[in-house]
Structure 1
């Protein structure tokens, strides 16, 4: 044991970062990339702007390069949600305990975007390290401080039930990404590998991933990145600059 400990202290002998739990999952005739993150083991954070120059990262590649300059390896990344025409988060955005965009309860016309397809919701990580997905109204009623949070919409699942707005035979097919917290210290991200409707995507979280509350993140621009596996989700030519990126880093 002493020799093993010594080896880990020698240059070039540090243990490699543990790979994330990432799987290709089949459901209802479609394929999905699903990533499980253990919050007791990995630190999931949100990143919008480079703290050195205040410029938005905009892309997973830019965030990855920033991490490298700090001696960190990007293990996981995903678009953190819906944003406005100025490339700012459309709803609540909290990073490192600081609220950069307030909770948005001024809903517009559902025809103008998914954020207004009610109810929308919040994914949050709290100071004690646990995560949860709540409707925006329930999150406001809680009034609890959070370490990180993003607001998006619509909610896919609410207390185990599909959003009542979803239609089984809807012809609105898009690449879709979402998130849930099936237990307080487990977070699950999923992205479709082909266009699907909301009803099918919601059933994935309910019937396959066993979540009770799940939040839609974004549509045809969304991708997940996993170290060693690359990108899953929307084709690269459809991806536009992001305003908030989930990420897990590890020391190199």
Structure 2
């Protein structure tokens, strides 16, 4: 069970970054999109500090960085248990912490098909889980979450246009060649159908993956934003080297 804390936004000085973050609208709803060039940016997953403690907050991740490193973007990146261990497959720096789960389960994670966000030194790709199991891509970092939002250009088959279930939501979509990853957080409560439609119709990502709702958080200094509140599990971020 996650512990509910107050949701805060910390004001930060604006810094230069190669990560592009901007607000976009679609069908009367607003979203913040941060686009990362995986071919050039230092895109990574983060879970624990050097002593094995789960980081949990963007400020803790910043404190764990080496001299000359700056966190230019970050977002929560997958579902987690009460102790903040990843629910699904998790790999960081080529070390697997949690195995791939391919069966049905409860909650949004188990709303099959779910998927895996896979990072190499020069690419970022979203794979549907069974496709991931079949191809066995060599991911330096990987985080399994669910449900898939877009699968080969189509919305998840379980998404309903008239759904009344609305939450603040965040996720990631990747280009077909894996060169760019679009990280999105809604600026208000949206349904899965509305969220997935933004990836499909506006960002044109052939595959997109849901990270979470309710705990959705963004660190984007260029927007003078760094959300605090719920303790997170996996975090995805970009490191600038000064």
With the length of structure 2 as denominator, give the TM-score of the two structures: 0.89
Gaps of 5+ in 2: 1-14
Work out which of the two has the higher radius of gyration on C-alpha atoms and give 1 or 2.
1
Deviation at residue 145 of structure 1 after TM alignment: 2.1
Secondary structure in structure 1 of the residue aligned to 2:222: coil
Q: For 1:151-174, what per-residue CA distance to the aligned partner results, in whole angstroms no more than 9, with x for missing partners?
A: 000000111000010000100000
Normalised by the size of structure 1, how large is the TM-score? Answer: 0.86
Aligned to 2:218: 224
In the TM superposition, residue 61 of structure 1 has moved relative to its aligned partner by 1.3
Structure 1 144/19 Cα, relative in aligned 2: closer, same or farther at 3 Å? closer
Q: Which residue of 1 aligns with 2:183?
A: 189
One of 155, 160, 176 as aligned partner of 1:162: 155
Report the number of matched residues: 227
RMSD over aligned CA atoms reads 1.6
Within the candidate set 36, 49, 54, 1:56 is matched to 54
Tell me whether 1:203 sits opposite 2:200 in the alignment.
no
Deviations 1:63-93 (A, max 9, x none): 01222x5331110000011111221100011
Shift >6 Å, 4+ stretches? none
**8 Å contact kept, 1:223–1:231:** no
8 Å CA contact 1:34–1:188 kept in 2: the answer is yes
Unaligned 5+ runs, structure 1: 1-15
63 and 135 in structure 1: CA distance in 2 versus 1, 3 angstrom threshold:
same
Are the equivalent residues in 2 in contact too, given 1:159–1:213 (CA < 8 A)? yes
What is the match of residue 6 of structure 1? none
- Residue 232 of structure 2 is aligned to residue 242 of structure 1: yes
